[in-house]
Each structure stands twice: as structure tokens, then as C-alpha cells.
Amino acid sequence: MTLAVDHDDIAELSAPFRRELLAHCYRMLGSVHDAEDAVQETLVRAWQSRTGFQGRASLRVWLYRIATNVCLRALERRQRLPLPSALGAPSRDPEAQPVRSLPEAQWLEPAPDLLFGPPGGGALGPAADPAAVVARRAGVRLAFISALQLLPARQRAVLILRDVLAFSARETAEVLQSSTTAVNSALQRARAQIAAVAPDEDDVLEPSEPGAREQLRRYLRAFEGADVDGLLRLLRDDVVLEMPPMAAWFSGRADVIRFFASTVLVEPGQFRNVLIGANLQPAFAAYGLGADGLHHAHAIHVVTLTRTGVSRIGVFLDAELFPVFGMPMTFPFTADQHLHD
């Protein structure tokens, strides 16, 4: 028997799933803006096809089928790039000017923590145990999202549904309108490729750990004070720096410091920073000093902190990301998060 569902019903029933659908579409597409568009289209399509929802299947699975198909169609039209470090070798001339930019490229973007639910819980409620919390965080870190962008679209969908969202093989097959055999085969291939390209982050510090908070404060003080030596002491030997839309990226403490010293950290007071959260990682919004004497939106920084120092620095040079994180375009403003020396 077909379950009668009207417009108000489907809107009300779908509302609790909106945020987790947004997170799903972000993992698929690598952009909060594109994910917002995909969720809007998903809800419209859900309303348009509401008479086809018979109630025999889970509403959640039905909505994920629509959202995943919307994302797969979007990926047929354009492919978002991962982070620069996934596309080639690092630059070996950190003092070269200028660093080449690819403004036309659609790079991976960071996402606000709010997209992934409240701290300590998943999109469907509180996490059952600490292992679930760790798995949830690992599934949204930028390095993992970047690695996802290297997978074929359907393999990407299978990996997200099975390993991140814990869908069963049967539910995943239903979402993709495929067979469990095909799903299991795609999952095996996707896991193998992810294992080959995703960096090992076993020793990553969570943002709430005391060691991480102190490390981040020292990092930001060094950045605001143009303290190159102080920053040097915080970086791991194998630290990676990447700066979309710049195609060049740098690997190794010596090259990263040479770039910062010659290009960025040339004078104290050039930057003011405000703590934010991105991809459940430590992050801050950096405001750069302009000719008018004000600090303007410059970049969103996402850092990976480990027990042995800073291992990755992602600098997203796109002022349009500031509204995504609820940040104004100029500084100063009232912000308790600002780190004063």
C-alpha cells in the first residue's frame, strides 16, 4: 500500500535530516556552497516525488538516495579538485615570486564544525563510545576529504555511505540502485585507493586536548608576531603547507619556514587571528592589514596538530569563505576568541 505524504508532511519529516544530508553532500562535492545547492535540490525532488515514497523503505535511506544522485549528476558536470598536495610534487623554490595561482580551478573548501553536528556526537545523536567519536572526526578531516576527491564518483559515494555513515551493504545498494555485490566490490577498490593516498594521522591531537590548545596558541602568537623562530620550533620536519588557489605547495620544515619568512611573516602586526573550527580541526580566520589601516578578511587556516608538532597547514586564500564561517569581513570587532599577546 502506498503511504500518502503531502507537502507539509515531507517537509516536516525531512527537516531532522537536513544537516546530515548537508555533510554528506559536502563530502561528495568538497564545497559547502555546492552542498547547500545539492540539499536544496534534494528537498525539492523529495517533494516532487513524495507520492513515490511508499513507506516500506527508511525515509533516511530514501533521502540519501535522492541526495547522492543529485551529487553524482553534479560531478558529471564538473570535478572539484583535491588539495594541491594530492596533484603533484612540492615546489622546491619557496622564495620564488610570485607563487602561481589557478583561480579558475575549483579547489576543495573547508567546512564549519557546525556542519558535522555538536561536539562529541554525530549527526544522528551522541556517539556511543570514544571510538565512534574518533572515527567521526577522522571522516571529516581535510586530508580525508581531499583523498575522497581522487576517487571515482560512485566509489566515493560507496565509501562515504559504508565507512563514514555506517550504512549496510543492502542500504548502500538501495541508495545507489545497485546490487550488494557491486557495492562490496566498489568498497574494496575505494578502500585500497584511500589507503594509498590518505596520510597517516594516527597521532593527531584533538582540538579539545590541552596539548593541542597550547600548541595552537603558540602557533598563533608566532604568526601574529612574525616570530619565524617561534614558528620553526612548532613545525614537524615533514610539515606540509598548501594554499589554494595557489598550485604550489611546500613540504618540509626548511622550505615552509623559508616561504613564510620571505613572503608572509615579514612584520609584526600584519595579521589578526580569530579562532574558529573547521572540519573538526583547529582553525582560525586570518585578517590582513590593508592600506586603509584596517585588517580585512584574508584566509581561513586549518592546521593539523600532532604530539610531535604541526604536521599540516592549509591556508585557503578565499575571502568568500568568511561568511560561511559566520565571520565579518573586517577586524576589529567584538570577539572573545581573538588571541591577544
Backbone angles phi, psi at 27, to 5 degrees: -60, -40
Q: Taking residues 110-131, what's their average pLDDT?
A: 61
Cis peptide before 98 (omega within 30 of 0): yes
| Per-residue pLDDT, 97 | 60
* CA-only gyration radius of the chain, Å: 21
Q: Cell numbers for 9, please give them.
A: 508532511
Q: Are 82 and 146 in contact (CB under 8 A)?
A: yes
Q: Cell numbers for 147, please give them.
A: 583523498
pLDDT digits (tens, 9 = 90+) for 241-300: 999 998 889 999 999 999 999 989 989 999 999 999 999 999 999 999 999 999 999 999
Q: Cell numbers for 15, please give them.
A: 527537516
Instruction: Tell me the pTM.
Output: 0.86
CB burial class (10 A; 0-12, 13-18, 19+) of residue 100?
exposed
Query: Does the pLDDT of residue 74 top 60, yes or no?
Result: yes
Higher-pLDDT residue of 120 and 78 is 78
| Per-residue pLDDT, 196 | 83
Q: Taking residues 168-193, what's their average pLDDT?
A: 95
Query: Please, what is the Cα angle at 182 between 178 and 183, to 5 degrees?
Result: 80
Q: Cell numbers for 5, please give them.
A: 505524504
Q: Which positions ≥6 away from 113 have C-beta within 8 Å?
A: 119, 277, 278, 279, 280
Query: Does the pLDDT of residue 240 top 50, yes or no?
Result: yes
Q: What is the DSSP string of 259-304?
A: HIIIII-SSTTSEEEEEEEETTEEEEEEEEE-TTS-EEEEEEEEEE
Residue with grid cell 594521522, as numbered in its chain: 201
Q: Crossing angle, helix 180-197 and helix 169-176, to 10 degrees?
A: 100
Assign domain 1-78 to its CATH architecture: Orthogonal Bundle (1.10)
| Structural element, H or E, at residue 251 | strand 249-251
Q: Which positions ≥6 away from 264 have C-beta within 8 Å?
A: none
Q: Taking residues 88-102, what's their average pLDDT?
A: 76
How far is the CA of 235 from the CAs of 130, 238, 250, 283, 313, in angstroms?
28, 8, 13, 16, 10
Q: Where are the domains of the chain?
A: 1-78, 210-331
CATH number assigned to the domain covering 210-331: 3.10.450.50
Higher-pLDDT residue of 330 and 77 is 330
| Per-residue pLDDT, 123 | 42
How far apart are the two ends of the chain, measured CA to CA in Å?
Answer: 67
| Per-residue pLDDT, 134 | 56
Q: Which positions ≥6 away from 283 have C-beta within 8 Å?
A: 110, 275, 276, 277, 300, 301, 302, 303
Query: Does the pLDDT of residue 3 top 50, yes or no?
Result: no
Q: Are 174 and 69 in contact (CB under 8 A)?
A: no
